[in-house]
């Protein structure tokens, strides 16, 4: 136990030093181990194995594998090891044989079960029992992926004579599942994965490895059985778990659900360009590097392969890039950004209508010029307010009318250069508030003429400018409340529509708020037409009432046409 505590303490100290801030050693080591594992997986899948299966009967991957789904087999192995420790393995070949066979047939994941009896002092083999399953693998489509279930053939499990286990000799050290407990206390060895801190095992899980004898990917669980005395017989129990049914999913963890039949440690090792493509896993390929596709993201396109790149080709190009052999990885497997405004595309064709900027700038210049000219008129009227023609027409209402016109002229400036939410809000406010100010001021003056003209008594009705402003204020207040409620509750947005060529452009949305306000303005102008009709024969200086009537008729005709169409 002292040796075991020392070995695990050294392991913890080593891991802490690698995880120290700024070192980056653990992350870099893990990255290299994963890339080396993928290279081995690729060599096995393509049968480009080199020395493997010629001089090397096994090839291990230095990446850990989740063993929670094999917990049942591990617990049975621990119980069998405790039984053998209590009863002893010396001269109990029948018990060893029965335990090995029962471990094999009791769990469908177990491919091989073996029990060794070793000399406690020399670690030479005294006796061994190995049972292996005779099976075929039939992939069947299950929920969450392919299920490579083990099926018994006729004859069931059979005794196995392993070449590396010879009586009187030590077991072959090349076995991934074997380690001499005397040289490695607690079986801590580079062959075995570190045990989870929240679980307690009697033995150790190996790293996954490829076995040339069975041509399958395996994972072994090994338990050392200490001898009852110093010179007695010690035991060794090992189970081989067939993990060939697992799948290599290199896509990111966020790209899909976590499934038990996928190797989690290799997630995130894809070689897709994350800025332009995304990894899409292709299930059913098993232990294969590049079992994914790099698909162009939304807003990107590629003229090659319709924007879908085979993961195996991407992996090969990435490896050549890392070796400075070629630059195809960045040239062929990166998608291009779509034209502005395109959510999806297949080429660089435009999706947005092209603005006629000279025409737009010309309209803006005209609008700004009209605003400046109107404000200049306001200043001129105020400066010469005592001139008879201005004094008779009420200078304050003339200025209010001109200010309303200036606000309406600002509508073009509000939508320049492009539309957005705030531009649409400014457009609605400038149009409707300017309209209300301008035509309310004109109608107030016409209404005063109407009241004066209709009175037949000797005492004429005289309405001052101050009284008219008091009547005008509630109308403006109603408009301000309506526009404010509209802005806060359902502000107009810049929505995209298409022209005849299918190109999109932005236009401020129109809904029942617009229609209700347009109808209200038409009703307001209808009252104005009635007032103008009443003063059609009224005599006034400079025929101001008649000119105002013409303005009211014109705007009423335009607004009616807008509501109708």
Q: What is the pLDDT of residues 473-521, one digit of tens each?
A: 999 999 999 999 999 999 998 888 888 878 888 888 888 998 899 888 8
CA angle centred on 207, ends 202 and 209, rounded to 5°: 130
Q: Is the pTM value of this prediction over 0.75? A: no
- 550-555: which pairs have CB atoms within 8 A and are 24 or more residues apart? 551/439, 551/442, 552/439, 552/442, 552/443, 552/446, 552/525, 552/528, 553/529, 555/435, 555/439, 555/525
Instruction: Give dist(CA 131, CA 156) in Å, integer.
Output: 10
Instruction: Give dist(CA 84, CA 227) in Å, integer.
Output: 10
pLDDT for the residue 129:
92
Instruction: Give dist(CA 243, CA 198) in Å, integer.
Output: 23
Residues 6+ apart with CB under 8 A from 364: 412, 413, 416
CATH number at 73 reads 3.30.450
Whether 100 is covered by a domain: the verdict is: yes
Whether 2 is covered by a domain: the verdict is: no
Length of the chain: 565
Residues 202-242: pLDDT tens digits? 888 999 999 988 889 999 999 988 887 767 788 999 999 99
Whether 3 is covered by a domain: the verdict is: no
Do residues 130 and 212 both lie within one domain? Answer: yes
Look-up of token digits 């006629």: 356
Do residues 377 and 421 both lie within one domain? Answer: yes
Query: Which tokens sit at 397?
Result: 């209402």
Whether 6 is covered by a domain: the verdict is: no
Query: Which tokens sit at 459?
Result: 């005492």
* End-to-end Cα separation, the chain, in angstroms: 92
Do residues 512 and 534 both lie within one domain? Answer: yes
Instruction: Give dist(CA 24, CA 4) in Å, integer.
Output: 28
Do residues 233 and 275 both lie within one domain? Answer: no
Instruction: Give dist(CA 184, CA 177) in Å, integer.
Output: 13
For 152, the enclosing helix (H) or strand (E) is strand 145-152
Do residues 236 and 265 both lie within one domain? Answer: no
User: For residue 514, what is the DSSP state?
Assistant: H
Q: Which stretches within 258-310 are classed as H helix?
A: none
Whether 44 is covered by a domain: the verdict is: no
Q: Which stretches within 254-356 are classed as H helix?
A: 311-322, 328-332
Query: Which tokens sit at 377?
Result: 């008129």
Beta bridge partners of 301: 336
pLDDT for the residue 87:
84
Q: Which of 217, 242, 267 marks a domain boundary?
A: 242
Q: Which domain holds residue 84?
A: 57-242
Look-up of token digits 């400066």: 383
Do residues 331 and 365 both lie within one domain? Answer: no
Instruction: Give dist(CA 559, CA 524) in Å, integer.
Output: 11
Q: Which residues of the chain have pLDDT under 70?
A: 1-26, 91, 135-155, 182-188, 196-201, 230, 453-461, 538-542, 562-565
Do residues 96 and 189 both lie within one domain? Answer: yes
Instruction: Give dist(CA 350, CA 339) in Å, integer.
Output: 5
Do residues 232 and 263 both lie within one domain? Answer: no
Q: Which stretches within 110-167 are classed as H helix?
A: none
Do residues 536 and 504 both lie within one domain? Answer: yes
Q: Which of 242, 263, 289 marks a domain boundary?
A: 242
Among residues 388, 381, 426, the alpha carbon closest in space to that of 403 is found at: 381
Q: Which of 192, 220, 242 marks a domain boundary?
A: 242
CA angle centred on 115, ends 110 and 118, rounded to 5°: 155
Whether 345 is covered by a domain: the verdict is: no
Q: Are 107 and 72 in contact (CB under 8 A)?
A: yes
Q: Are 314 and 308 in contact (CB under 8 A)?
A: no
Do residues 455 and 333 both lie within one domain? Answer: no
Instruction: Give dist(CA 193, CA 62) in Å, integer.
Output: 8
pLDDT for the residue 3:
38
CA angle centred on 515, ends 472 and 398, rounded to 5°: 30
CA 423 to chain CA mean position, Å: 31
User: For residue 387, what is the DSSP state?
Assistant: S
Do residues 176 and 86 both lie within one domain? Answer: yes
Whether 47 is covered by a domain: the verdict is: no
Instruction: Give dist(CA 516, CA 220) in Å, integer.
Output: 77
Q: How far is CA 252 from CA 24, 37, 268, 301, 509, in A?
A: 21, 17, 4, 21, 40
> How many distinct structural domains can be found in the chain?
3
Do residues 536 and 469 both lie within one domain? Answer: yes
Whether 48 is covered by a domain: the verdict is: no
Instruction: Give dist(CA 87, CA 252) in Å, integer.
Output: 49
Specify the 3-state DSSP secondary structure of 138.
strand
Query: Which tokens sit at 36?
Result: 């080396």
């Amino acid at each position: 136990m002292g040796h075991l505590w020392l070995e695990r303490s050294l392991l913890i100290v080593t891991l802490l030093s690698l995880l120290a801030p700024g070192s980056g050693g653990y992350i870099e080591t893990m990255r290299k181990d994963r890339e080396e594992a993928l290279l081995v997986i690729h060599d096995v899948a393509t049968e480009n194995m080199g020395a493997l299966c010629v001089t090397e009967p096994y090839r291990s991957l230095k990446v850990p594998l989740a063993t929670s789904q094999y917990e049942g087999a591990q617990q049975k192995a621990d119980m069998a090891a405790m039984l053998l420790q209590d009863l002893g393995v010396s001269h109990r070949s029948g018990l060893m044989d029965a335990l090995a066979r029962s471990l094999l047939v009791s769990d469908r994941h177990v491919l091989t079960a073996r029990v060794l009896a070793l000399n406690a002092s020399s670690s030479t083999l005294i006796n061994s029992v190995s049972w292996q399953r005779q099976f075929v693998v039939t992939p069947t489509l299950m929920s969450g992926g392919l299920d490579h279930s083990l099926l018994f053939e006729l004859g069931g499990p059979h005794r196995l004579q392993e070449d590396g286990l010879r009586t009187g000799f030590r077991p072959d050290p090349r076995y991934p599942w074997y380690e001499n407990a005397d040289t490695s206390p607690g079986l801590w060895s580079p062959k075995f994965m570190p045990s989870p801190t929240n679980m307690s095992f009697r033995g150790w899980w190996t790293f996954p490895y490829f076995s040339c004898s069975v041509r399958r990917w395996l994972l072994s669980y090994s338990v050392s059985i200490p001898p009852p005395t110093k010179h007695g017989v010690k035991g060794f129990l090992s189970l081989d778990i067939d993990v060939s049914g697992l799948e290599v999913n290199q896509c990111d963890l966020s790209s899909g659900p976590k499934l038990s039949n996928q190797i989690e440690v290799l997630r995130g090792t894809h070689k897709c360009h994350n800025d332009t493509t995304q990894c899409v896993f292709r299930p059913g390929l098993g232990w294969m590097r590049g079992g994914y596709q790099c698909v162009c993201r939304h807003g990107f396109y590629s003229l090659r392969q319709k924007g879908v790149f085979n993961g195996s080709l991407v992996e090969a190009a990435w490896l050549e890039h890392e070796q400075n052999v070629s630059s195809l990885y960045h040239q062929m497997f990166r998608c291009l950004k779509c034209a502005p405004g395109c959510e999806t595309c297949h080429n660089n064709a435009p999706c947005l209508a092209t603005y006629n900027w000279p025409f737009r700038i010309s309209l803006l210049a005209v609008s700004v010029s009209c605003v400046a000219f109107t404000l200049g008129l306001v200043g001129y009227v105020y400066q010469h307010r005592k001139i008879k023609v201005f004094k008779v027409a009420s200078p304050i209402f003339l200025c209010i009318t001109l200010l309303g016109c200036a606000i309406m002229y600002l509508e073009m400036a509000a939508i320049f250069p492009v539309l957005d939410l705030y531009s649409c809000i400014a457009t609605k406010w400038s149009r409707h508030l300017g309209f209300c100010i301008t035509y309310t001021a004109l109608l107030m003056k016409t209404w005063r003429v109407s009241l004066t003209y209709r009175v037949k008594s000797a005492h004429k009705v005289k309405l001052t400018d101050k009284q008219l402003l008091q009547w005008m204020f509630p109308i403006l207040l109603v408009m301000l409340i309506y526009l404010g409620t509209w802005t806060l509750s359902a502000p107009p947005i810049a929505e995209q529509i298409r022209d005849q060529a299918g190109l999109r452009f932005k236009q401020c949305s129109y809904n029942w708020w617009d229609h209700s306000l347009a109808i209200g303005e038409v009703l307001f102008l209808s009252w104005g037409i009635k007032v103008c009709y009443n003063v059609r024969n009224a005599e006034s200086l400079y025929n101001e009432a008649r000119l105002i009537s013409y303005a009211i008729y014109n705007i009423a005709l335009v607004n009616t046409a807008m509501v109708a169409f």
